[in-house]
Amino acid sequence: MQSWPAKPPRSLAPWALLAPNLLLLLLCLAGPLLLLGRVSLMGYEAGHGMIPVWQLSNYSKFFFDPFYRAILWGTFLLGAEVTALCLLLGFPLAFALSRARGLKRAILYFCILMPLLTSTVVRTFGWMILLGNNGFINHTLLRFHLIASPLRLMYNVTGVIIALGEVLLPFMVLSIDTSLLNINPSYYEAARNLGARGPRIFFRITLPHALPGIVSGCVLVFTGTLSAFVTPTLIAGARIKVMSTIIYQQAMALLDWPFGSAIAFTLLLAILILFAATLHFSERRRAS
Amino acid sequence: MTTRGFHLGRRFAVFFLALFALALLPQRSRAQTELVVTNYGGSFEEGWRKSVVEPFERTHPDIKIKLVQKLVFESMALMRAQKDDVKIDVFMMDEVGAAQAAAEDLVQPISVKTVPHLADLYPVFRVPGDSFAKFMFDASVIAYNTQQVSPAPQSYKDFWDAKYSGRIAINNLDSATGLSFFLMLLKTEGATMDNTNPAFAAMKKLKPAIVTFPEQHAQLAQLFTQGDIVMAPWTSDRTLLLASKGLPIAFVIPKEGGIIQEGGLVIAKGTRKLQAALLYVNFALSVEAQAANAKFTFLSPTNAKVALDPQTAAKIPNGLKAIKALTHPDWKKANELRPQWIDRWNREVTQ
């Protein structure tokens, strides 16, 4: 049946193409990760340094302590909240973007990418100016007597969700946009010809086809939130503890690299498990 | 078309080669030593450049200083990481970091022979074995907004005054400023390093009044500038630096006293540019460098021979009497207990 010759002879070409990337990953990712794994099994004594032993006590210290477990859950919860916000705001935006053409699309595209064009620190300080108790937002709302006392937007989780939502929104929008653009317009025509209306078309055609984009957008936003460090530190301060800030505290302020590495490894494993599950689920949905 | 493309490509290649050669040229012709040193960055760096780096390079044209920005504990982490292949030659660290580096055998000790200006320091600033050089000090203070807080605060107890509820910040314990505040709190509350319970009890009471627990000087500056807070524990030099930008802010050393916080220069063990590093450290201890540092960045001099101009002398803590009045804590013990305190602080205060 095939119109071209059966399987091409086995060649090394794919491997040769992969080689530079694999080498880079091996050198710059796998190597340091192995090192991190090794350090996470070491001991530490304040004032003296690391003790080169093999032990699991750093991990048990993390998992048997409700304080640290709560931080892990809190981090995931924050990830879920930011993802939900981005999905809620991002889907309509992506829909509009996928429908726009020409100059309008270019302008919209640029506007969506805008948050990524500033450095994290500058952007975060910008948010601090807007969100503070005497910041622009509160100042304006008070001025027009829309609120009686300043809204607490800074130094709590609200500010972190707002600021992270802003910078991660482009990842959600662009992912969904890509999958919306891939929908063949004739599907819509066919649906309409068969008498389907707006909501039905949305749920039977748009949404299922956008699902891969939604999933990858969610994955990008979720990981982006989990690995964010500057924004939670500057916006929330020490009151809100997430995995990245306690890793920093252990590694940089307490110099306890072994425990810091163990926390970092725990976060990595938790993300990997979550991803594997999500991808497995979405692949199965697609297959069925 | 193809020939033209070829020519264009070749021309570009020649151009880039020439550019590349040009980039290499000056380095070859000048046999300069490049000394890589850290500093705290930001406004501090501006002052350090003017007071130390530029005059040093003028005196030693064969040495070029490369300034990189590192916070104390980042520096410590870096010293550990570069142990076998030193990339940064001189680190700027506080007492806590430097003592830790010395304990881990990461420092190149100095002596009066190699760094003659060490002999000019107040004896209190010499460290055992001269493992590093203390080039400045500042005091832990209460910084306050002069328009919003009057009369000026007198005691650390003033943070508990209901008037200031929701208008104060307390640095997180994992920062140097936070640690100094905590040590003063032990004194104020009649606690000790071994029994910190009264201090934690007091902090639990203060918790609802605190806007946030900053970690960096830039955050405190932002909080004061925006008017989100009117009072916070800080350091003498950083308060004056912010005041010099025109903000209505001043500091007091409250009646319980203040902690002396010292800045040290640490030479990395195994540096390949030891001679240049020693010259640099010696220069930072000199009268002219320290006087300029006091003037530009409000760092109090450790060199006993520095004579400050009256204006600067009136602003910053200086001289033997001021040094003696400040508290010199047992940093070694504080360092060993710090992880425990931070752990408890994480659970009871910032949670």
As a whole number of angstroms, the distance between CA B251 and CA A65 comes to: 41
Of the partner residues A237, A249, A252, the one whose CB lies closest to the CB of residue B212: A237
| Sequence letter at residue A283 | E
| Sequence letter at residue A200 | R
Tokens of B335: 């360092």
Contact B174 A256 (CB under 8 A): no
Which neighbouring-strand residues pair with B38?
B68
What is the average pLDDT across A133-160? 88
For residue B335, list chain A residues with Cβ-Cβ distance below 8 A. 46-47
Q: What angle do CA B293, B299, B303 make, to 5 degrees?
A: 80
What is the average pLDDT across A71-95? 96
What number of other Cβ atoms are within 10 A of residue A90's Cβ?
Answer: 29
The residue of chain B with its CA nearest to that of A139 is B226
- Spans of chain B below 70 pLDDT: 1-31
Q: What pLDDT, on a 0 to 100 scale, did the predictor assign at position B99?
A: 83
Contact A67 B347 (CB under 8 A): yes
* Higher local confidence (pLDDT), B291 or A284: B291
**pLDDT over 70 (residue A2):** no
Tell me the shortest Cα–Cα distance from B189 to chain A, in angstroms. 23
Q: What pLDDT, on a 0 to 100 scale, did the predictor assign at position A47?
A: 67
- Residue A232 DSSP code: I
As a whole number of angstroms, the distance between CA A181 and CA A255 comes to: 49
Of the partner residues B103, B212, B226, the one whose CB lies closest to the CB of residue A135: B226
User: H/E/C letters for each residue in B240-297?
Assistant: HHHHCCCCCEEEECCCCCCEEEEEEEEEECCCCCHHHHHHHHHHHHCHHHHHHHHHHH
Phi, psi (deg, nearest 5) at residue B303: -80, 120
Tell me the shortest Cα–Cα distance from B176 to chain A, in angstroms. 10
Q: What is the pLDDT of residues A19-61, one digit of tens each?
A: 899 999 888 899 999 999 999 999 998 767 788 899 999 999 9
ipTM above 0.85, yes or no: no
Q: What is the pLDDT of residues A91-124, one digit of tens each?
A: 999 999 999 999 999 999 999 999 999 888 899 9
- Residue A260 DSSP code: H
Q: What pLDDT, on a 0 to 100 scale, did the predictor assign at position B4?
A: 45
B333 touching chain A per CB within 8 A: no
Tokens of A274: 């979550």
Of the partner residues B73, B172, B336, the one whose CB lies closest to the CB of residue A238: B172
As a whole number of angstroms, the distance between CA B217 and CA B234 comes to: 8
Tell me the shortest Cα–Cα distance from B77 to chain A, in angstroms. 7
Give A167-170 contacts, CB < 8 A, sequence gap 24+. Answer: A167/A115, A167/A116, A167/A120, A167/A123, A167/A224, A167/A231, A168/A82, A168/A86, A168/A220, A168/A221, A168/A224, A168/A225, A169/A86, A169/A89, A169/A90, A169/A93, A169/A112, A169/A115, A169/A221, A170/A112, A170/A113, A170/A115, A170/A116
Contact A47 B103 (CB under 8 A): yes
Contact residues, B window 220-279, toward A, CB-based 8 Å cutoff: 222, 226-228
Of the partner residues A47, A67, A134, the one whose CB lies closest to the CB of residue B228: A134
B213 touching chain A per CB within 8 A: yes
As a whole number of angstroms, the distance between CA B102 and CA B300 comes to: 24
Cβ-contact B205, B170 below 8 angstroms: no
User: Rounded to 10 degrees, what is the CA torsion of A84, A88, A91, A93?
Assistant: -130
Q: Is the pTM above the cut of 0.80?
A: yes
B104 touching chain A per CB within 8 A: yes
